[in-house]
Structure 1
Amino acid sequence: MQAQDINKLEPSILEAFPPSSVYAAYIYDLESNKVLLSKNSEQLMSPASTLKLLTAVAATRVLGNDFRFKTDIATKHAVHSERILGNLYIRFHGDPTLSSDSLMSLLQGLKQKGVKRVDGDVILVGDDQAPSKAPGWVWDDLGICYAAPVSAFMIDGNCVPAALVPQLATYVGKVVKKRNLPITVNSNATFDKKRQQAFCKLEMTSTYKNYFYLTGCHQGDRSLNLEIAVNNPKQFALDIVRQQLNSLNIKVRGQIRLTDVSPMGLVTIGTVYSPPLSQMVEAVLLESNNLISDGLLKQLGRQLYGGKQSFEKGVAALKRTIQREGIDLSEAVIVDGSGLSRYNLISATQLANVLKLIATRPLYQRILQNLPIAGVSGTLKYRAGFNRETLRHRVQAKTGSMQGMSNFAGFIMNKQGEPTYAFVILENGLSLNGKTTNAATALAKFISKK
């Protein structure tokens, strides 16, 4: 596209955005290495989940595609007469993909070795002194699974699926857990079956012991699916281990307790691993998985700086890695790896520079391959506006959505499936009733005119 053509096209692209929103737009030709469109591209804006592109790049660069988290069990003493003579240690290393089924398989290994009793304590080891929530996470998101706490102890995503079920004889609903996981949920929430109440919403309160109480009302007469984020990951892990040992009929003479330091001289007797980093990054990009993204961020911090895991170390490691790739983040504000924090600020130009890196470096080709495809996969499969023929299969991008935000960072592909243009569209300040198809409209206009 010639410069004079894009100058004519710019007004028609930008008119897709309402005057009430704050937006930035940047389009770059990867073949000619020319900026085709730059509007407000140096302005710092909330990136939401487009920030995950930086996390994916940094994790790939530092940890490598074959990296796996591990969770293991260890002792100082061999199994003797169906007993572990001392303590049993279960060592958690912040695996955000660890499931209760995987943990059970680890403990079943004890049963297969003939263990029926632990004479000492069962000790859960995890470096978990730092906060499990980043600054700027919205408080009313914290009971929902997409904002589950990021901890050394993460089992089943620190999330319990449940449903609020209407009772036949009353308007009061009952919370039914879909899995037998150790949290307590009580409710006096009601169903507004005839939708007659003007003010009707649900509220969840919780205690540090993972006791939850649901109040308020829900409009309608059908069951409502819930995803409840645990409040205390340590307690959740303790209770799951206790539950599983009981189900295996393995007796513990001592306590089931926590520590943050693993003693010297332990012998590992069983290990389970996460999927490789390449698969975890796929979940981060395609599904926009926040827990995995922030779990990887904390692992970055531990890898580069050692010591205890924290968001602060992770962010320092991320910025250091990206800046060593030649991208200046000195003005950016980054406090997590998922983009959940409202404190995050980054410019369209900075995101575009990350996209250029992804498009041109073989190391990052899997990141490009794992981006959602418009109308086909991930968060762009059913995204409003992206199923139109002009964009379907042609756009691959990371989405970033929170209340008042609709962001996209990715590529326009040619017919051979190769990235031709890198683009970033950040739109903040959207009305709750406003359109979220503005970016799709702008991209469709660009593609149709090029």
Structure 2
Amino acid sequence: MLKVCWFFISSILSVSVLSSPVLAQQWQQLQSLLPKGTQVSYLVLDPHSKKTIASFQEETLKTPASVQKLLTATTAKLYLGDDFRYQTAIQGDKKALKAGIYKGDLSLHFSGDPTLTRQHIKQLLQGLKRVGVNKIEGDFLLDNSAFNGYQWSNGQAWNDLGVCYTSPTSAIIVNRNCVQGNLSVPAEQAKKARLFVPDYEPVDITADVDVVTKEQRDTLFCDLELTRDSHNKYHLWGCMVPRKRAFPLAFAVNDPNTYAQKIVEAEIKQVGINLIGDVKVATLDYQKTVASSSVLASHLSPSLSALLKQMMKDSDNLIADSLFKTVGAHYFQQAGNFRNGTKAMKAILKEQGIDLENAYIADGSGLSRHNLMSAELFMSVMKFVYQQEAKLGLLDSLSVAGVDGTLRYHKGVNAKALKGKVIAKTGSLKGVANLVGIVKSPTGDKLFVLMINGYNQENSVTRAVIPRVEKASVYLFEKAFFKHIYEGTTPK
């Protein structure tokens, strides 16, 4: 069936020199490969001749999902620069340290570093001890002044907030604000699943999950559910079917302040520092703190280039939203948040001739359903990134079909001829499948934006217009779309 299907696709793609209307019609014929009701926009451009190869509803605003990260990466490169690193620092007055005793409060400034771990905090405290601090006669303040406002962007789905790909973007981030665990079925006849969460994690997670057959699960309309409460309390309930391997869990830390507070308390004791006061979260005037104190120990994140490579190839939401807020903070010289991040992004890109006033931007990750972008707007960013590659160096951060990142196993570009030829950023949410990038065709590079919204793959029906094709598919459309770009002709 697949060979017959590809014969049909090839037949509508086998074109020589065609007039633009005929070519446009053949491009639009590809849409019959999509599930019924799907909304699609696309724009394909030859960056050298500057001719449009194909376009359809390129001005229509759609949900961008993670292709939004292309904007974030471009903005961060332009404004923060390659040398940018997050700094987490313990600060205090060196004059207050005498004979191993520090008299007064010390502060640990968090900068929103999405890579900061518990081990890094331990190393910071060990560094504090190396400068002679054995006892603190005061409080240990966790400074969260780098960011303010909501930890999640407006428009995120509420039932996604308990899982780690939507971990909150706060100034205080430890271990990606994520706790790992698992659920397992301890015995063949077990009626309840067993929860495992490491003892060292300062969270309260309980479970009451029934083990049922697939038939029982379908009859009862039962699934695994999660209830979240304040102070990092979670309860798993519902049901699951037996499985040989443990079911992995990843809980988003909904109260990063309390989580970090407990970790710092434990690590202070572990390194042997006697704290007379308490570990407290505080919003300090960071500029005054810097002016009146010294850095006693510090930790630097990887460089911006390394952060962007991880953000783009792995579609890392936490890095994206932290950079988004950080750009807002640096641009406006105040605490970063989603509001000033939006204003800063639009202003920075407008200085480069990229006008996003018609777009709605709610975050840097693309998790918000409020985000709205068009294929035309994305192409303006993609053209800039392509033309400024010598300055920005962003193309290496895009995923490569069949090679790495989110395109390594992507079904829509897994044809042998496309391996290494499609270089792009993906964007996926429920009912959303977008791609922005480059096709390295035999006739030269082609830039493309493909935005697919509102598709329902589960209930796709047979498309009568496609002989012998059993079921329409987003992946089937993508295969044909990229095959057309790779092998197709450019209108004269």
Same fold (TM over 0.5): yes
The AA in structure 2 aligned to 1:101 is Q
Instruction: Please say if 1:308 is aligned against 2:313.
Output: no
Residue of structure 1 aligned with 2:154, choices 129, 135, 144: 135
Residue of structure 1 aligned with 2:110, choices 77, 92, 108: 92
Shift of the 103–436 alpha-carbon distance from structure 1 to 2, 3 Å rule, reads farther
Q: Measure the CA separation in 1 of the matches of 2:79 and 2:42.
A: 30
Q: Which residue does the alignment assign to 1:235?
A: 258
Q: Give unmatched runs, 5+ long, in structure 2.
A: 1-15, 461-472
Q: Which residue does the alignment assign to 1:4?
A: 19
Deviations 1:140-172 (A, max 9, x none): 110011111011001111111111122337321
Q: Which residue does the alignment assign to 1:436?
A: 474
Residue of structure 2 aligned with 1:246, choices 269, 273, 280: 269
Q: Measure the CA separation in 2 of the matches of 1:370 and 1:115.
A: 42
Instruction: Please say if 1:162 is aligned against 2:181.
Output: yes
Q: Measure the CA separation in 2 of the matches of 1:316 and 1:365.
A: 21
The correspondence of residues 19-418 of structure 1 with structure 2, limited to 5 A, is 19-76=36-93, 77-127=95-145, 128-168=147-187, 170-178=190-198, 180-192=200-212, 196-198=216-218, 199-221=221-243, 222-261=245-284, 262=286, 263=289, 264-362=291-389, 365-414=392-441
Q: Tell me by how many angstroms 1:204 deviates.
A: 1.1
How many percent identity over aligned positions?
Answer: 31
Q: Measure the CA separation in 1 of the matches of 2:198 and 2:407.
A: 28
The AA in structure 1 aligned to 2:37 is S
Q: Tell me by how many angstroms 1:3 deviates.
A: 6.1
Between Structure 1 and Structure 2, which shows a larger proportion of helix residues? 2
The AA in structure 2 aligned to 1:138 is A
Q: Tell me by how many angstroms 1:419 deviates.
A: 6.6
Task: Kindly indicate whether the alpha-carbon contact (under 8 Å) linking 2:186 and 2:194 is maintained by their aligned counterparts in 1.
Answer: yes
Deviations 1:354-389 (A, max 9, x none): 110011113555211110001111000011131111
Q: Tell me by how many angstroms 1:216 deviates.
A: 0.8
Q: Measure the CA separation in 2 of the matches of 1:429 and 1:245.
A: 51
Q: Measure the CA separation in 1 of the matches of 2:356 and 2:213.
A: 52
Q: Measure the CA separation in 1 of the matches of 2:97 and 2:18.
A: 75
The AA in structure 2 aligned to 1:15 is S
Task: Kindly indicate whether the alpha-carbon contact (under 8 Å) linking 1:122 and 1:255 is maintained by their aligned counterparts in 2.
Answer: yes
Task: Kindly indicate whether the alpha-carbon contact (under 8 Å) linking 2:192 and 2:211 is maintained by their aligned counterparts in 1.
Answer: yes
Q: Tell me by how many angstroms 1:114 deviates.
A: 4.2
| Residue aligned with 1:338, SS | coil
Q: Measure the CA separation in 1 of the matches of 2:58 and 2:199.
A: 47
Task: Kindly indicate whether the alpha-carbon contact (under 8 Å) linking 2:389 and 2:395 is maintained by their aligned counterparts in 1.
Answer: no
Deviations 1:312-348 (A, max 9, x none): 0001101111122112211111110000000000100
Q: Measure the CA separation in 2 of the matches of 1:308 and 1:294.
A: 14
Shift of the 174–249 alpha-carbon distance from structure 1 to 2, 3 Å rule, reads farther
The AA in structure 2 aligned to 1:382 is Y
Deviations 1:202-232 (A, max 9, x none): 1111222011111111123341101100111
Shift of the 248–195 alpha-carbon distance from structure 1 to 2, 3 Å rule, reads farther
The AA in structure 2 aligned to 1:431 is N
Shift of the 405–8 alpha-carbon distance from structure 1 to 2, 3 Å rule, reads closer
Shift of the 179–102 alpha-carbon distance from structure 1 to 2, 3 Å rule, reads farther
Q: Measure the CA separation in 2 of the matches of 1:138 and 1:84.
A: 46
Q: Tell me by how many angstroms 1:428 deviates.
A: 0.5
Number of equivalent positions:
448
Between stretches 328-337 and 244-253, larger displacement belongs to: 244-253
Q: Give unmatched runs, 5+ long, in structure 1.
A: none
Higher-Rg structure is: 2
Q: Measure the CA separation in 1 of the matches of 2:116 and 2:261.
A: 15
Q: Tell me by how many angstroms 1:432 deviates.
A: 4.3
Runs of 4+ with deviation above 6 angstroms: none
| Residue aligned with 1:197, SS | helix
Between stretches 430-439 and 88-97, larger displacement belongs to: 430-439
Deviations 1:221-265 (A, max 9, x none): 341101100111111111111111122232211111111114351
Superposition RMSD on alpha carbons, in Å?
1.9
The AA in structure 2 aligned to 1:377 is D
Between stretches 71-80 and 391-400, larger displacement belongs to: 71-80
Residue of structure 2 aligned with 1:425, choices 446, 450, 475: 450
Q: Measure the CA separation in 1 of the matches of 2:216 and 2:96.
A: 66
Q: Tell me by how many angstroms 1:79 deviates.
A: 3.4
Task: Kindly indicate whether the alpha-carbon contact (under 8 Å) linking 2:401 and 2:419 is maintained by their aligned counterparts in 1.
Answer: yes
